[in-house]
């Protein structure tokens, strides 16, 4: 028998990737393929489900071919899947053919209905049961729209002839010999149809959205047997698929955040910050989302989630809209070339403010400029704005945790020991150091920043005994740790200025 490997299929919004990990959790090969995006109307975003499937099959095959080039006897022991969350797919149970385009999580076609629901008393029922704030972002209203607008779909669904699933379910169905129709608890918790307290599909929510229960997948653990693989490459036939998780929860698991208070932040176009809250589904008082973090055994873990709309997109704005940067990487040197921002703050509310403010009317502003303000100061202010926004979310999360654990002794209340980071903008050393300084906590960047794929691999590897839990939480000896170096007085001065800048933007938006 050759060396053992775990295959992770990372199915994202714009591409499908296959990443192979060895026993040391090191990446041995990566294959990636982009697929088309479709925008039939303003605000609408769709995928062809067959593009998702075929691109996934191709990268799995190519990844295995490449692996065999340097290890002819390689054996894939298990497959894990992580996916873009909330995207909706419907297909024929008998033929497996999609019955409509996939409606992508970014699609806003149901936004008006969801805005009305926020003002409806039933919106609070949804929040209490699902941990989610009613929004077009989640799956329920997308599925409802398909049932109401695709001719014949509702009748077929009521007869039990239609399967609904998020992207993980679509892939599992097509990749398994058993044609398994299943999802995991993390993806189910993003549909706005799943009760995160009973861990089951909720009849009251299904009735509200008028969704037939017969079309829903079975909900399984994140580390569980979903079936055995059947694809054209005979070397993958019979390999168990036994790890599934939504992308952000998978990254949380891949970062080893298995204890209450541990958190990770992904610096992408926006920022996704998740904090493990243990076995407590914390009811946020700051309009953060409560979601399922993972379920490996009989115990489920929960998380708080906060989203920052403008993360790496701020740097893209400097590069593409203003022409200040030729490449995003230049921002690091320019920011370091000046000692501070001369007291200026950028509040990048270009599309409103996300957590914890949730102000759709706020608009971006540059506050506090003086005559000596130059492009270098703007670049620094832009990077600092990302860190300030993340700090706001961390503060909100810790306040929610403190309230949720108020019956515990002070020493038992979870708090953030360090922030684990990943994503493209985490490569910016200036940003990471400033993040540590403004948090007053270490920032830890792993050597492998492909934590989303690693999480899916770990979930699969745990199930087949390829790794044990020690492998999940083991310290990465190659990780970069950024220690806070800013004096407390200076930190408070900067945070006070940031809060004032945000307040001015919010006030301006209301006029």
> Which pLDDT value is given to residue 62?
85
Predicted TM-score of the model (pTM): 0.88
pLDDT of residue 363: 86
Specify the pLDDT at position 151: 94
- Residue 289 is assigned to a structural domain of this protein: no
Tell me: the pLDDT tens digits for 429-450? 999 999 999 999 999 998 887 8
pLDDT, tens digit (0-9, with 9 covering 90-100), for 46-58: 899 999 999 999 9
Instruction: Report pLDDT for 473.
Output: 77
* pLDDT at residue 10 in the model: 93
In this predicted structure, what is the pLDDT of residue 181? 96
DSSP state of 217: P
Tell me what the mean pLDDT of segment 483-492 comes to: 94
**What is the chain's Cα-based Rg?**
23
pLDDT tens track for 344-354:
999 998 878 87
Q: With 80 as the cut, is the pLDDT of residue 125 above it?
A: yes
Structure confidence at residue 232 (pLDDT): 62
Residue-level pLDDT at 286: 86
What is the distance in angstroms between the CA of the first residue and the CA of the last residue of the chain? 70
> Is 353 contained in some domain?
no
Whether residue 1 has pLDDT greater than 50? no
Q: Is residue 267 part of a domain?
A: no
Q: Which residues of 323-341 are buried (b: 16+ CB within 10 A; e: fewer)?
A: ebbeebeebbebbeebeeb
Question: How far is the C-alpha of 206 from the C-alpha of 80, rounded, in Å?
Answer: 29
pLDDT per residue as tens digits for the range 353-370: 877 887 777 888 999 999
Whether 316 is in a domain gets the answer: no
Query: What pLDDT is attached to residue 342?
Result: 94
Instruction: Quote the number of domains for the chain.
Output: 1
Q: What sign for the dihedral angle of Cα 185, 246, 241, 254?
A: negative
Question: Can you list the pairs that 485-493 forms with residues at least 24 positions away whose Cβ atoms lie under 8 Å?
Answer: 485/433, 485/436, 485/437, 486/437, 486/438, 486/440, 488/440, 491/437, 491/438, 491/440
- Which range, of 169-178, 203-212, 226-235, 387-396, averages the lowest pLDDT? 226-235
Calculate mean pLDDT across residues 239-266. 92
Task: With respect to residue 222, please indicate whether it lies within any of the assigned structural domains.
Answer: yes
pLDDT tens per residue, range 391-431: 999 999 988 888 877 766 555 666 788 999 998 889 899 99
Q: Is the pLDDT of residue 65 over 90?
A: no
Mean pLDDT of the chain: 90
**Above 70 in pLDDT, residue 486?**
yes
Q: What is the distance of C-alpha 76 from the center of its chain?
A: 26
Q: Kindly report the number of other CB atoms within 10 A of residue 353's CB atom.
A: 26
Domain membership of residue 344 (yes or no) is no
Pairing of strands 365-367, 419-422: unpaired
Q: What is the CATH number of the domain that holds 172?
A: 3.30.420.40
Q: Residue 148: what pLDDT? A: 95
Q: Is residue 96 part of a domain?
A: yes
What pLDDT, on the 0 to 100 scale, is given for residue 233? Answer: 66
Angle between the 429-439 and 488-510 helix axes, to the nearest 10 degrees?
A: 100
Is residue 87 included in any domain, yes or no?
A: yes
Residue numbers of the domain that contains 129: 4-248
What's the whole-number mean pLDDT along residues 165-172? 96
């Amino acid at each position: 028998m050759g060396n053992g490997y775990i295959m992770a299929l990372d199915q994202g919004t714009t591409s499908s990737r296959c990443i192979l990990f060895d026993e040391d959790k090191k990446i041995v090969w990566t294959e990636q393929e982009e697929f088309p995006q479709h925008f039939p109307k303003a605000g609408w975003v769709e995928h062809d489900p067959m593009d998702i499937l075929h691109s996934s099959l191709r990268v799995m095959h190519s990844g295995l071919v490449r692996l065999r080039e340097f290890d002819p006897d390689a054996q894939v022991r298990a497959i894990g899947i992580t996916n873009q969350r909330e995207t909706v797919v419907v297909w024929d149970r008998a033929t497996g053919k999609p019955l409509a385009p996939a409606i992508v999580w970014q699609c806003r076609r149901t936004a008006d209905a969801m805005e009305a629901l926020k003002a409806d008393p039933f919106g609070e029922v949804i929040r209490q049961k699902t941990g989610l704030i009613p929004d077009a972002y989640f799956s329920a209203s997308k599925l409802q729209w398909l049932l109401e607008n695709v001719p014949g779909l509702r009748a077929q669904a009521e007869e039990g002839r239609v399967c609904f699933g998020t992207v993980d379910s679509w892939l599992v169905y097509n990749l398994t010999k058993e044609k398994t129709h299943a999802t995991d608890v993390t993806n189910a918790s993003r549909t706005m149809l799943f009760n995160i307290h009973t861990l089951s599909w909720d009849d009251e929510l299904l009735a509200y959205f008028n969704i037939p229960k017969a079309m829903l997948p079975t909900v399984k653990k994140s580390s569980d047997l979903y079936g055995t693989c059947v694809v054209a490459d005979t070397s993958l036939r019979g390999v168990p698929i036994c790890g599934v998780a939504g992308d952000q929860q998978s990254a949380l698991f891949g970062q080893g955040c298995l204890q209450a208070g541990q958190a990770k932040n992904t610096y992408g176009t926006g920022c996704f910050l998740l904090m493990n809250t243990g076995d407590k589904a914390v009811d946020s008082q700051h309009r953060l989302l409560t979601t399922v973090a993972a379920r490996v055994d009989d115990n489920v873990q929960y998380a708080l989630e906060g989203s920052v709309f403008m993360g790496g997109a701020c740097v893209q704005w400097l590069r593409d809209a203003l022409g200040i940067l030729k490449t995003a990487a230049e921002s690091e040197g320019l920011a370091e070339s000046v000692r501070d921002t001369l007291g200026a703050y950028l509040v990048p509310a270009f599309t409103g403010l996300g957590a914890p403010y949730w102000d759709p009317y706020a608009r971006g502003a540059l506050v506090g400029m003086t005559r000596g303000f130059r492009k270098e100061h703007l670049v620094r202010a832009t990077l600092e704005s990302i860190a300030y926004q993340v700090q706001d979310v961390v503060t909100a999360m810790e306040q929610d945790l403190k309230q949720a654990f108020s019956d515990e002794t002070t020493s038992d209340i979870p708090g953030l020991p360090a922030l684990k980071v990943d994503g493209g903008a985490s490569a910016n050393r200036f940003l990471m150091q400033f993040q540590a300084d403004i948090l007053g906590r270490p920032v830890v960047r792993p050597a492998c920043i492909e934590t989303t794929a690693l999480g899916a691999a770990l979930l699969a590897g745990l199930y087949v005994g390829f790794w044990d839990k020690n492998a999940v939480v083991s310290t990465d000896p190659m990780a970069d740790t950024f220690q806070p170096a800013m004096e407390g007085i200076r930190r408070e001065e900067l945070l006070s200025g940031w809060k004032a800048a945000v307040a001015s933007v919010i006030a301006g938006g209301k006029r």
